[in-house]
Structures are given as C-alpha cells and as structure tokens.
Amino acid sequence: MGLKAQKKKLEVDFTFISPPYTKQDQQGLRNVSKDTWSDMLSLAKCEIVGQTSNEFFDSYVLSESSLFVYPTKIMIKTCGTTTLLLILEKLLEIAEKENLQKSFVCYSRKNFNFPHVQHSPHTGFEDEVSYLDKFFEGFGFVLGPLEGDHWYTYVADYNDSEFTLSNEPEITLEICMHDLSVEKMKQFYKGENFKSGKDTTESSGISNLLPGSTIDEFQFDPCGYSMNGLLGKSYSTIHITPEAHCSFVSYDTNITKKDLEKMGKSFESLILQVIQTFEPGRFSVTLFADDHSLENRETKTFNVFNNKSLKDEYKMVSKSFYEFEQSYNMTHQTFIKTQ
C-alpha cells in the first residue's frame, strides 16, 4: 500500500480549433462518454469507481485517484505504479474529435518513494520528459532539494488561440503529507465501527475544508479513502493511505482566491486547516498560478504560506520559486514537525 503515495498528476488545457456554434459543441470534452474515458484510463491501469457532475464539470473517482473533465480541460491524478502518460495519444485523439487543440500542459509529481517499481515511461524524470516531448514542445524542471522532498514539473504552453470560452485565471494548490497522526488515520480503516464513507467525510473534518462542496467519496476495504469535491467551477480531491509504516495524504484544489474569500478563508488558512485535519510529520505545499490570478504582488505565490501560521510546531526545510516567461509562477515549500 505504500506505493499509493507515488502520485502523478497531468493537466491538459485545450482551445477550440474553430468557433463552437451550438451549446452541444461548447461542451467539448464533456460530450465524451464514460465508456470512452474508461477505455483511455485502462492505459493508465485504473478504472472509474464513482461519478458526479455539476453544471461546470464532471468528476470521476478512480481506483487510483481522480479525473476531472471540463469542456476544455482535463485533470487526472493517479497513484502507485500507474502509467499515466500512456493516455496521451488517446487523449489527444479524443480532443481532436471534439474540435479541440492543445493549449497548455502541466505534468507534475513528487519524487517517488519507490522509483524502482515504476513502469515505463515513469522509470525516471528524464524518461518522462522524453516521452512528453513526443507530443509537446515543453521543458522540465525541479523545485526543492534533491536530497529531500522535491517536485518534478513539465510545462508546455501554446496559449495563442482566439477561440476560448473563458480566460479566467486559475490557481492550483497541492499539499502532500507524510507520517500522519496514527490517531487521525484510524478513521480511514473499515473497522467494526465503520458506518459509511459519508460518515467518515463528516467526522474527519474533510467536509469542513471547503463547505458547500458536493462530495463523492469512496472508502476502500480494508483501508484507504478517496474523495472528489465539486464547488461551482472548482474541484478538490483527497487521497489517503493510512497504514502507519507508509501513511500518506494528498490534497488538491483549484479553488480561486475570490471564492475562498466568500467563505471567509484564504489560501493560508485553508492550508493550515488541512494540516490540522491530518497532522502530518512532514509535508510539502505546491502552488501553481499566474500573476493575474493573485490580484496584487503581496499575495503572490511566494508569500502565500509561512511559518507564522504553523507557530513552533513545524519548521520550513526549503522554499523554491520559479517564474515562467509567461505569467505563470510556482512555489514549492517543505516542512517538518519539530516535536
């Protein structure tokens, strides 16, 4: 089960090749059937175990994490020894049939705990970059210390099309947590007191992270938990491996700063609430954004989270910042418990 902590994440944004004239055309990737997605996901060695939708996007809980489908964007996160990048050829074929062309690509992952068990093309970051270069013209880079927790990212940007349905800026927050509180992790086992995944979502405090979200959760047997949350145009997702020797929790969301403020929160307070919910021994925070989505320089990603929020309970081990030629910037921070 420790292999579950080996997360891989792929986001591909598209634009329309020609103007979509009908409402059906404007649905883009949302016109694609569940069976078609299932066929594509089989290439990554995972399957759909739950599905939910709202007016903006479709959510799929997977046997190996999550898939979110917007009209012009797909985000898929897998774990373990999945072969995520092997979906690319099929994905681009699907997109072309829906009158879509690639616009922006971001593949990212934390350094693997067990790199020797991965399958091609995930046998190393250089191999992953070589495979991505078969489909895109991008570049790879690393944030964080190579001797400790660090973050690999590949980015390709083709944003020059006029046929977009939305130019709304976006932020993506990801928190990876290790060495979790044993007490907190007990609730993610299907023991004799287990009631339902919905009850676990409530009792664990997960439902309070982004109140008002429609949550589709799945509790695995004998242990493990996954959820997808839908809140307007924003997704959130949590995946939990609770075993003490390899405990891991990942949290991911593209909630906007404006929507957080509506519920009286900030990125800093959300991150702190996530940490308090799971009590990790160490964790990393990665925030990917563009300058326009952060309204002013004081709240740029580099300054979104600091030690003051954690008081003396954690210390920051590293902080890396990367600013792209376009408007994008990315921050990666790692923390460790002091007690």
Compute the C-alpha angle 11/180/83, nearest 5°.
Answer: 30
Cα dihedral sign for 18, 20, 24, 30? positive
Please tell me which residue in 98, 207, 236, 239 is annotated as part of the active site.
Answer: 239
250: which 2 tokens? Answer: 């990942």
Neighbours of 99 (CB within 10 A): 18
The whole-angstrom distance between residue 185's C-alpha and the CA centroid of its chain comes to 21
10 Å CB burial of residue 152 (0-12, 13-18, 19+) is buried
Rounded CA gap, 231 and 318, in Å?
32
Examine the residue annotation and report whether 226 is marked as an active-site residue of this protein: yes
Please tell me which residue in 59, 65, 66, 207 is annotated as part of the active site.
Answer: 65
Please tell me which residue in 63, 103, 226, 284 is annotated as part of the active site.
Answer: 226
- What 3 state SS string does 220-265 have? CCCECEEEEEEECCEEEEEEEECCHHHCEEEEEECCCHHHHHHCCC
Asked whether the bond before 145 is cis by omega within 30 degrees of 0, the reply is no
DSSP 189: B
296: which 2 tokens? Answer: 């002013």
Examine the residue annotation and report whether 65 is marked as an active-site residue of this protein: yes
SS3 115: helix
Please tell me which residue in 11, 59, 79, 236 is annotated as part of the active site.
Answer: 79
187: which 2 tokens? Answer: 């609730």
Q: Which residues are bridge partners to 95 per DSSP?
A: none
Examine the residue annotation and report whether 239 is marked as an active-site residue of this protein: yes
Distances 88 to 46, 74, 121, 133, 170 between C-alpha atoms, Å: 15, 11, 12, 11, 23
Examine the residue annotation and report whether 250 is marked as an active-site residue of this protein: no
> Which residues are designated catalytic?
64-65, 79, 226, 239
